[in-house]
Structure 1
């Protein structure tokens, strides 16, 4: 895949973000920074608060305390459309797409840049076509989105985020349902964008290969952060994930490579 050019990468700061619901604290004062153009991964075991943090960043959840800052502006002060011009989301599951074609779903990414009565113009159509081509689903443009496989839907959602022209791309498990080739394609595309990217990932080898920095969450707290080589240690994997592993350097990329032990 060839990455389309992007401008205006956003700096993201999560400052002491706390989130509570029904008396349960899911995030305990999380601090996170993603500098303009960085690819930052959030990793951790199930239930550690990764998706909750991502939802606080893109605005479907409002932190109980602390704040999310985009280029020095408190995100809570931004309107829905203004925030959507800065942050695009690739969720695990898409809602509100029943009966729409793939082209129509991808074109939804242009809506933050339009007045509600505006129709798509030739420029929008070119952006949509280019994004479909970029993620490898141009041949599926006229298909109904809900008829696609999980991997095809995931790539279409990446295309929708691309046409939004975001300064920050927030992705929740973007490799879900993808075969190995498309996992590498999608993460390579994200890595090549000039936009800032914040990714929630389960696969630690993919996180080590494609992320500039990692934040490890455990029970709603950041327990480690930094470059993958500094963060992913055998001791951390034992403590946070409860697994034994050996970590070496990938023979081609030099990135940390994890081998799990029985």
Structure 2
């Protein structure tokens, strides 16, 4: 398989902030993803994960700080140039239901083309390679509407790959997927060779698949580092308000979180 679509870049945010009205959604966040790393954003609902990702891939303009790719400030780049360098797999995959998978994936070539320009032979090769790479070649002629959730995510990852990006940004890529597809998608992303920044709810999946984690709470960065250093009982109590035990799993070597019920409280059985 050609590695032409693996062009990993170094991503860095410097004091990134986003405010709307009187509300601060992201507050002075500095993070980095080294070339080829998979970096996870974790934190409670409303902690700022999706807002931060949107600032990184350009659908929101930061109100403070900046986003750098290989040291290049992306604020100076056009939306089209930015799309050539950062690709996103959105949380909501409801797009182009009437199109075939091949057509959906080919849409990823649009940042490299004029709006009237037809697909080239090279485009066709890249689409075919991307489908092969995500294990979806047999889905090429099926309609997007007819796919399972896991198959749709594979198609959307392939669409992102044909952009030939330096960074792949994923917002809850396992949302609404059965556990088998959650594992398949995260294994796929980690093995692509791209630099990946993804938001995840499931801390055990984040611990296993991410090289490093950044923990957000109310828009602020409260912890960062390898999962073994970040995921502690104390942090989970402080940030998530839960009681949990964290131990290293003997098979994976990754920290595993076990949530404990609050002492003295029981949920009445349903009738």
Q: TM-score of the superposition, structure 2-length normalised?
A: 0.90
CA contact (8 A) 1:42 1:200 kept: yes
Any stretches of 5+ residues in structure 1 without a counterpart? none
CA contact (8 A) 2:4 2:164 kept: no
1:142, distance to aligned residue in structure 2 (A): 2.4
CA contact (8 A) 1:17 1:66 kept: yes
**Corresponding position: 1:166 with 2:165:** yes
Which residue of structure 2 aligns with residue 146 of structure 1?
A: 145
1:5, distance to aligned residue in structure 2 (A): 5.9
**Corresponding position: 1:109 with 2:105:** no
Q: How do 1:42-81 and structure 2 match up within 5 A?
A: 42-81=41-80
Query: Match of 1:174, SS?
Result: coil
CA contact (8 A) 1:58 1:87 kept: yes
CA contact (8 A) 2:17 2:64 kept: yes
Query: Match of 1:54, SS?
Result: helix
CA contact (8 A) 1:42 1:201 kept: yes
Query: Match of 1:66, SS?
Result: strand
Query: Match of 1:62, SS?
Result: coil
CA separation in 2, counterparts of 1:251 and 1:219? Answer: 34
Total equivalences in the alignment: 261
RMSD: 1.8
CA contact (8 A) 2:105 2:155 kept: yes
Which residue of structure 1 aligns with residue 268 of structure 2?
A: none
**Corresponding position: 1:196 with 2:189:** no
1:120, distance to aligned residue in structure 2 (A): 1.5
Q: How do 1:79-228 and structure 2 match up within 5 A?
A: 79-94=78-93, 97-228=96-227
CA separation in 1, counterparts of 2:2 and 2:192? Answer: 6
CA separation in 2, counterparts of 1:144 and 1:37? Answer: 32
1:77, distance to aligned residue in structure 2 (A): 0.6
CA contact (8 A) 2:26 2:220 kept: yes
CA separation in 2, counterparts of 1:63 and 1:81? Answer: 18
1:152, distance to aligned residue in structure 2 (A): 2.5
Q: TM-score of the superposition, structure 1-length normalised?
A: 0.93
Q: Larger Cα Rg: Structure 1 or Structure 2?
A: 2
Deviations 1:27-63 (A, max 9, x none): 1111111111111100000000000000000000000
- In the superposition, relative to structure 1, how do residues 13 and 6 fare at CA in structure 2: closer, same or farther (>3 Å)? same
Query: Match of 2:88, SS?
Result: strand
1:241, distance to aligned residue in structure 2 (A): 0.7
- In the superposition, relative to structure 1, how do residues 55 and 160 fare at CA in structure 2: closer, same or farther (>3 Å)? same
